[in-house]
């Protein structure tokens, strides 16, 4: 594996807060705290509880053909269906049900893009399934890896797309080591961003992969997962540097609506994804549970995402274009919403997916937040 000495580059010397000695904080450790909020008036959409709901989901695996095979839990013989019968009840208000006809009407002649990793694509396919109950979309583009798509709803002239960009910054990979250029937004999306009227941005879990970091064309360091003979860098401050540059680019180059979807929460128990971790719960956490402490790392990532996004909005002449979809806490309460063992197995030996979300499932609530944001968007001229 690639080795580097421990000497800091000039870029590294300018960012001493990024460095530490020792092992990165475990995402399994917990800190009892309320989530960072993104309130709208008296209504805090980010905090609330899941309540029983007798209404059927907007779609099923029979009525939507766009579900990724590994998230098609019903088709993959998940026996319990109780995870489908809950709705999100925010504090001090009600979140209106998703209305596909209304959404397509508001987005007539517009283009919306999801930019991020596989959870971003998971969200895109959730929205696609909900909208396909109103109109069947046409596939304009699918990449050969199955990571990026563009769909068109012809009667509404609405385009829905997702762009694969797991780090949001430029990167390459060699022998399972990722090289991240923290100050260079990923050309995969910067080359296309201006084509879209609405952009939903997200990242998070890929920063746990073995990574070597570059800043100002120099080697900055690496995370602990890389196991390199080089200065170790904290994950959260590294993400902060990348997000600051990404949001700066968006503020300068993009004039559409920008939504930041915050990090989700995985629910591996008794191990992690690669060493026997499982998720077999069949109901949400309740407020009376003793497990209502958000995982420390998810909480810290949530905070830095919101802080950097709000800083960018505050510097903008058009702060009303910025909106946070703070789903971290609501996702934390849904350990029952993952495919678990009910996914397409590659390899054939059982592997639990406790990160992505069943479709239909809890992730469909995120579309209510997107519709809420679009409904409340009111462009104003700068003073």
Question: Tell me: the pLDDT tens digits for 178-220?
Answer: 999 999 999 999 999 999 999 999 999 999 999 999 999 899 9
Confidence band of 29 (pLDDT split at 50, 70, 90)? very low
The DSSP secondary structure of 9-72, one letter per residue, reads PHHHHT-GGGB-SSPPPPTT-B---PPPP--BTTBEEEEEEEEE--SPPS--TTT-S-S-GGG-
Identified catalytic residue from 117, 186, 266, 353: 353
Domain-located, residue 9: no
Distance CA 24, CA 10 (A): 23
Q: pLDDT tens, 246-264? A: 999 999 999 999 999 999 9
Which member of 171, 338, 356, 372 is catalytic?
A: 356
* Poorest-pLDDT segment among 245-254, 288-297, 345-354: 345-354
CB 104 within 8 A of CB 131: yes
- Whether residue 338 lies inside any domain: the answer is yes
Burial class (CB in 10 A: 0-12, 13-18, 19+), 252: exposed
pTM exceeds 0.85, yes or no:
yes
Q: Which is the catalytic residue, given 118, 202, 224, 299? A: 118
**Pairing state of beta strands 138-142 and 111-116?**
unpaired
Residue 289 lies in a domain: yes
- Could you tell me the pLDDT band of residue 271, with boundaries at 50, 70 and 90? confident
Please give the pLDDT value at position 6: 33
Is 117 noted as a catalytic residue in this protein?
Answer: no
**Would residue 43 count as lying in a domain?**
yes
Active site includes 118?
yes
pLDDT given for residue 187 in this prediction: 97
Residue 349 confidence class, pLDDT cut points 50, 70, 90: low
| 300, part of any domain | yes
The whole-number pLDDT of residue 261 equals: 98
**Tokens at residue 342, please?**
């009910």
Partners of residue 352 on adjacent β-strands: none
Residue 52: pLDDT band (50, 70, 90) is: very high
Domain span at 65: 28-165+183-205+235-375
Phi (first) and psi of residue 259, to 5 degrees = -115, 130
Q: Closest Cα to residue 332, out of 366, 293, 303? A: 293
3 found inside a domain: no
DSSP string for 185-208: E-HHHHTTGGG-SEEEE---GGGG
CATH number of the domain encompassing residue 142: 3.40.50.1110
Q: Choose among 71, 155, 152, 150: nearest CA to 115.
A: 150
- In which band, very low, low, confident or very high, does the pLDDT at 8 lie, cut at 50, 70 and 90? very low
The residue ranking higher by pLDDT, 347 or 229, is 229
Question: Structurally, how many domains does the chain consist of?
Answer: 1
In the prediction, which pLDDT does 351 show? 82
Gap between the Cα atoms of 268 and 86, Å rounded:
21
Mean pLDDT of the 224-243 span:
94
- Give residue-wise pLDDT tens across range 131-188: 999 999 999 999 988 899 999 999 999 999 999 999 999 999 999 999 999 999 999 9
Least confident of 12-26, 87-101, 249-263: 12-26
Residue 227 forms part of a structural domain: no
Closest CA to 233 of 22, 27, 18: 18
Q: What is the mean pLDDT of the chain?
A: 87
Residue 219 lies in a domain: no
Q: Is 356 a catalytic residue?
A: yes
CB atoms within 10 A of CB 285: 18
- Which pLDDT band, with edges at 50, 70 and 90, does 16 fall under? very low
For 342-365, b/e burial (b = at least 16 CB within 10 A) is bbeeeeeeebbbbbbbbbbbbbbb
């Amino acid at each position: 594996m690639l080795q580097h000495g421990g000497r800091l580059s000039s870029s590294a010397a300018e960012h001493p807060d990024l460095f530490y000695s020792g092992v990165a904080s475990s995402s399994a450790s917990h800190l009892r705290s309320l989530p960072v909020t993104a309130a709208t008036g008296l209504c805090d959409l980010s905090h609330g509880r899941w309540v029983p709901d007798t209404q059927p989901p907007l779609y099923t695996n029979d009525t939507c053909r766009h579900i990724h095979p590994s998230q098609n839990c019903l088709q993959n013989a998940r026996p319990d269906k109780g995870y489908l019968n809950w709705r999100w009840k925010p504090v001090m208000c009600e979140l209106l049900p998703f209305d596909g006809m209304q959404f397509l009407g508001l987005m007539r002649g517009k283009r919306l893009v999801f930019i991020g990793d596989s959870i971003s694509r998971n969200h895109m396919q959730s929205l696609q399934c909900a909208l396909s109950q109103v109109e069947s979309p046409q596939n304009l583009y699918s990449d050969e890896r199955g990571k990026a798509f563009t769909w068109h709803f012809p009667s509404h002239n609405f385009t829905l797309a997702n762009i694969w960009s797991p780090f949001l910054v430029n990167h390459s990979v060699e022998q399972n080591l990722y090289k991240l250029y923290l100050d260079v937004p990923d050309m995969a999306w910067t080359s296309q961003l201006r084509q879209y009227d609405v952009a939903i941005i997200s990242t998070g879990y890929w920063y746990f992969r073995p990574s070597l970091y570059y800043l100002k064309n120099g080697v900055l360091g690496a995370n602990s997962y890389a196991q390199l003979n080089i200065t170790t860098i904290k994950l959260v401050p590294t993400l902060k540097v990348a997000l600051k540059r990404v949001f700066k680019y968006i503020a300068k180059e993009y004039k559409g609506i920008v939504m930041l979807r915050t990090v989700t929460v995985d629910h591996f128990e008794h191990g992690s994804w690669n060493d026997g971790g499982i998720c077999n719960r069949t109901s949400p956490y309740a407020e009376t549970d003793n497990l209502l402490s958000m995982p420390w790392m998810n909480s810290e990532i949530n905070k830095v995402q919101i802080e950097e996004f709000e800083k960018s909005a505050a510097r903008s002449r058009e702060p009303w274009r910025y909106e946070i979809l703070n789903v971290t806490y609501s996702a934390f309460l849904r350990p029952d919403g993952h495919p678990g063992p009910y996914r397409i197995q590659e390899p054939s030996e059982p592997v639990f997916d406790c990160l992505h979300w069943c479709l239909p499932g809890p992730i469909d609530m995120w579309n209510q937040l997107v519709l809420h944001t679009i409904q409340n968007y009111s462009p104003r001229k700068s003073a």
